[in-house]
Chains A and B, each alone.
Chain A
Amino acid sequence: MTSPSGASILGDVAVTRTLRTGARRVVELLATPLVPADYLDVIAPLSNPAVLRARVESVRPETRDSVTLVLRPGRGWRPHEPGQYVRLGVDVDGVRLWRSYSLTSPPADRDGRIAVTVNAIPGGTVSNHLVRHARPGLLLHLDAPAGDFVLPRPRPAKVLFVTAGSGITPVMGMLRSALSELDDVVVVHSAPTAEDAVFGADLRALAAQGRIRLIERHTRADGRIKPADVAALVPDLFERHTWACGPNEMLDDLESHWHAAGESGRLHTERFRPALVVVGDGGTVTFGRTGTVVEAGGGVPLLEAGEEAGVLMPSGCRMGICYSCVLPLRSGAVRDLRDGQITTAEPEADVLVQTCISAAAGPCHLDI
């Protein structure tokens, strides 16, 4: 019996590879100056491997102010770890805004779908838009899942979750996928009232089945929960690994309590809201890559402030029409000197501002 020699197999592989590379080059050439995926986007936007998108398959109301969006992610999505979040790019009034939301589904159901749960924050542009206007068929942009608020392997023997408000969302993701691997779970969850508790019914059902011990706190009646309350409700507190998610004040309290007991290693926290952007008139401008820092007045274009400090700023028309001077705003806020409009930086997203007609509106950081 003969078998093909190793060399010829390798030869075939090389030929196939060359053919494939050649074919790809030709297709790229056919699409120039665009890329082939740009044409694919018109017909099948979920098939673009370079741009991750998802389509809303269904919208499930959770409470008056929250909804769960069941999403079908496109090509390129890799399954998340329960407890992680995903950044969603949502077009609100035509403008793409990015926000992070916890994944509340198991890594991927049989159909490859995932779910996020969105709580409408008072004044929150994106959360309110999604809660009020998200409909099946809506196309969203997304990033790879991220975050280290996850359960370790092997799973700890005893687990405590302390959550408040929408802080339950990453924990729900964990409970839905890993509860069968956890023996002893206590959930201390705060919400303004019983009806306002996101996933209230799901949690109560799990408690009724005896799979978790649920302690609900209704803050409108009983006030905000303190570490001492948690300690009283959960006597074996420090025997447990604790995952906590909720408002910053609650997390600060918990962290100092665990720190005082020398048990910081057993507390894992997740903070949702970044520090609010300070909007003022003029401010400290940091030119990140050059390391230059200047104080700029509220009426001075950033372009001039940079040039005076010796930064090699890109420039053009100097009147706001040619877009040669745009730079990414990494943090802070700027004011359009023509109409006073404020533009604020978005976490981890490039917001490009025209430096020739923008002035500092509080401390800000430009990437140059």
Chain B
Amino acid sequence: MTTLQHKKVNPIAHLTAEDIEAIGRELDAIRDEVVASRGERDAAYIRKVISVQRRLELASRGVLLFSLFPPAWIVGTAGLSVAKILENMEIGHNVMHGQWDWMRDPKIHSTAWEWDHVSPAAQWKHSHNELHHTYTNVIGRDNDLGYGIMRVDEDQRWHPAHLGQPLYNFINACFFEYGIAAYDLELGRNLATKERRRNPKFRAAVKQVRRKIGKQVLKDYIVFPALSGPSFLHTLAANFTANLVRNLWAHSVIMCGHFPYGVETFEKKSIEGETRGEWYLRQMLGSANISGSRLMHIMTGNLSHQIEHHLFPDLPSNRYAEIAPKVKDLFQRYGLSYTSGPLPKQVASAWAKVFRLSLPNRKADRERVAPQPDATPANRGPATRWQRTPAAN
């Protein structure tokens, strides 16, 4: 039923259509359990994280006013880096997913949240929540597969420009928030023709990004340094470093989500008429976790539980760790591999892929991706991902 069929080893060959729907039902049951028990404890968690983040940011910026003194520079920069990481990952990303909308707190709501990032919330929500999370790992539909600048799957066609992708990836990592803004704007596509460049919708979006960049730059590189007086240059350097650290960290964590060895990709055609169970299965095969301590999970915005996050993108992030054993058990019972590993290993695995695929496929790979008869029916009609499968009798 999917592109997986033309892999050497099809990881889902042993599953029947009924198995896939049964997986869907089990995952829906896990979801229902969490939704039914969401409450005060969860609300207290996110408020605590927000409170800690804001205090840490205020304190770090305060210390950096005296960044002329090396200890102040080090402490302030470290604090600000952590604050920026928390703000983007455990708070911004997750709030904008609607994970906390159920609290009906207008201050912590997906429709109202704006983050310390050059991509405006509205653009991010469209490209990430809607496109990436619905069409996860579908070649040609999910631009997260290489962000349009890299080849991260054998099934993506090689081009000599890909030879430079280790370098592009490194530059993208350093300026990741700008990379994401460009990606949300679909710059590559929208700058391609004169007509697209002049599209008023695109121009308005560019203007929003420019305004956001302007404010962030003014804040981090002019106003705060100016307030630091004689420490102007030191504060400027500290803020630049904090942004760099945040970018490198976010990029590494996100690379681990979908690029490491063991993660599968899918063909456009394979998702026609996709059922809820099939969508769940695609999320299971298309994501990878990072193992580590509780602090590590919080610092990754719980994207270390990428599998759980992709199955239930709108459940509160503090619950992913709790449901992970159940999800893992489900993988085992259905003979699927739950991809997970420590951060250095996963980062290395993702980077190895970036290097390997900068070159054309080897002969063995070419054989692997040789066109094969497509088992998918011509057209299965519109997808019914929202519809649960009734329990089998």
**Interface of A with B (CB < 8 Å)?**
26, 29-30, 32-34, 38-39, 41-42, 51, 91, 93-97, 301, 316-324, 326, 337-339, 341, 349-352, 356-357
Q: A317, B111: Cβ atoms under 8 Å?
A: no
Q: A33, B116: Cβ atoms under 8 Å?
A: yes
Q: Which of B285-317 contact A (CB under 8 A)?
A: 313-314
Q: A322, B105: Cβ atoms under 8 Å?
A: no
- A339: B residues at CB distance < 8 A: 28, 31-32, 35
- Among B149-157, B189-197, B202-210, B217-225, the stretch in contact with A: B217-225
Q: Which of B117-158 contact A (CB under 8 A)?
A: 125-126, 129-130, 133-134
The one of B43, B130, B227 in contact with A317, judged by C-beta atoms closer than 8 angstroms, is: B130
Residue of A nearest to B122 (CB): A324
Beyond known contacts A324-B125, A337-B388: 6 more, CB 8 A cutoff:
A29-B219, A33-B215, A94-B42, A323-B125, A338-B31, A339-B35
Q: Which of B213-253 contact A (CB under 8 A)?
A: 215-216, 218-219, 223-224, 227
- Among B50-58, B164-172, B333-341, B364-372, the stretch in contact with A: B50-58
Query: B12 contacts the other chain (Cβ, under 8 Å)?
Result: no
Q: B101, A33: Cβ atoms under 8 Å?
A: no
The one of B55, B103, B385 in contact with A319, judged by C-beta atoms closer than 8 angstroms, is: B385
Q: Which of B87-113 contact A (CB under 8 A)?
A: 97-98, 101-107, 109-111
CA distance A310 to B312 in the complex (A): 31
Q: B39, A93: Cβ atoms under 8 Å?
A: yes
CA distance A118 to B110 in the complex (A): 32
Q: B110, A323: Cβ atoms under 8 Å?
A: yes
Q: A30, B43: Cβ atoms under 8 Å?
A: no
- A357: B residues at CB distance < 8 A: 386
Q: A322, B130: Cβ atoms under 8 Å?
A: yes
Query: B186 contacts the other chain (Cβ, under 8 Å)?
Result: no
CA distance A337 to B276 in the complex (A): 13
Residue of A nearest to B135 (CB): A317
CA distance A320 to B102 in the complex (A): 13
Query: B38 contacts the other chain (Cβ, under 8 Å)?
Result: yes
A-B pairs with beta carbons under 8 Å apart, 26 shown:
A29-B215, A29-B218, A29-B219, A41-B107, A42-B50, A42-B55, A51-B107, A91-B43, A94-B41, A94-B42, A94-B44, A94-B102, A95-B102, A96-B104, A317-B133, A317-B134, A317-B385, A319-B383, A319-B385, A321-B313, A322-B129, A323-B111, A337-B386, A338-B28, A339-B31, A349-B104
Main secondary structure, interface of A, reads loop
Central interface residue in B28, B41, B104, by most chain A CB within 10 Å: B104
Q: B386, A319: Cβ atoms under 8 Å?
A: yes
Q: A94, B38: Cβ atoms under 8 Å?
A: yes
Q: B385, A324: Cβ atoms under 8 Å?
A: no
- A319: B residues at CB distance < 8 A: 134, 276, 279, 383, 385-386
CA distance A33 to B217 in the complex (A): 12
Q: A94, B215: Cβ atoms under 8 Å?
A: no
- B219: A residues at CB distance < 8 A: 29-30, 32
CA distance A38 to B125 in the complex (A): 22
Q: A316, B105: Cβ atoms under 8 Å?
A: no
Query: B115 contacts the other chain (Cβ, under 8 Å)?
Result: yes
Known A94-B39, A318-B386, A322-B125; judge A32-B216 contact (CB<8 A).
yes
Q: A323, B129: Cβ atoms under 8 Å?
A: yes
Central interface residue in B41, B42, B58, B223, by most chain A CB within 10 Å: B223
Chain B interfacial residues counted at CB < 8 A: 54
Q: A96, B105: Cβ atoms under 8 Å?
A: yes
Q: A350, B134: Cβ atoms under 8 Å?
A: no
CA distance A266 to B303 in the complex (A): 65
Residue of B nearest to A37 (CB): B107
CA distance A94 to B101 in the complex (A): 11
The one of A33, A316, A322, A338 in contact with B114, judged by C-beta atoms closer than 8 angstroms, is: A33
Central interface residue in B42, B115, B314, by most chain A CB within 10 Å: B314
Q: B386, A320: Cβ atoms under 8 Å?
A: yes
**Min CB–CB distance A228 → chain B (angstroms):** 46
**Min CB–CB distance A336 → chain B (angstroms):** 9
Q: A95, B130: Cβ atoms under 8 Å?
A: no
Residue of A nearest to B310 (CB): A321
4 closest Cβ pairs, A-B complex = A94-B43, A319-B385, A323-B98, A322-B129
Residue of A nearest to B110 (CB): A323
Residue of A nearest to B134 (CB): A317
- A301: B residues at CB distance < 8 A: 386
CA distance A194 to B134 in the complex (A): 62
**Min CB–CB distance B286 → chain A (angstroms):** 14
The one of B111, B130, B224 in contact with A316, judged by C-beta atoms closer than 8 angstroms, is: B130
Residue of B nearest to A357 (CB): B386
Q: B97, A323: Cβ atoms under 8 Å?
A: yes
Residue of B nearest to A318 (CB): B386
CA distance A30 to B106 in the complex (A): 22
**Min CB–CB distance A25 → chain B (angstroms):** 10
- A94: B residues at CB distance < 8 A: 38-44, 102-103
The one of A318, A341, A349 in contact with B385, judged by C-beta atoms closer than 8 angstroms, is: A318
Residue of B nearest to A346 (CB): B104
Known A26-B223, A33-B115, A323-B110; judge A338-B215 contact (CB<8 A).
no
Known A93-B40, A319-B385; judge A324-B129 contact (CB<8 A).
yes
- A95: B residues at CB distance < 8 A: 43, 102-104
- B313: A residues at CB distance < 8 A: 321-322
**Min CB–CB distance B184 → chain A (angstroms):** 14
The one of A30, A322, A338 in contact with B133, judged by C-beta atoms closer than 8 angstroms, is: A322
CA distance A240 to B366 in the complex (A): 96
Residue of A nearest to B35 (CB): A339
- B106: A residues at CB distance < 8 A: 350
Q: A91, B40: Cβ atoms under 8 Å?
A: yes
**Min CB–CB distance A344 → chain B (angstroms):** 12
CA distance A318 to B38 in the complex (A): 23
Central interface residue in A30, A316, A323, A326, by most chain B CB within 10 Å: A323
Q: A38, B28: Cβ atoms under 8 Å?
A: no
- B44: A residues at CB distance < 8 A: 94
**Min CB–CB distance A92 → chain B (angstroms):** 8
Interface string of B234-278 (1 = CB under 8 A from A): 000000000000000000000000000000000000000000100
Q: B102, A323: Cβ atoms under 8 Å?
A: no
- B383: A residues at CB distance < 8 A: 318-319
CA distance A321 to B280 in the complex (A): 12
Residue of A nearest to B314 (CB): A321
CA distance A34 to B216 in the complex (A): 11
Q: Which of B12-61 contact A (CB under 8 A)?
A: 28, 31-32, 35, 38-44, 50-51, 54-55, 58
CA distance A319 to B129 in the complex (A): 11
- B129: A residues at CB distance < 8 A: 316-317, 321-324
Q: B35, A323: Cβ atoms under 8 Å?
A: no
The one of B42, B54, B101 in contact with A352, judged by C-beta atoms closer than 8 angstroms, is: B101
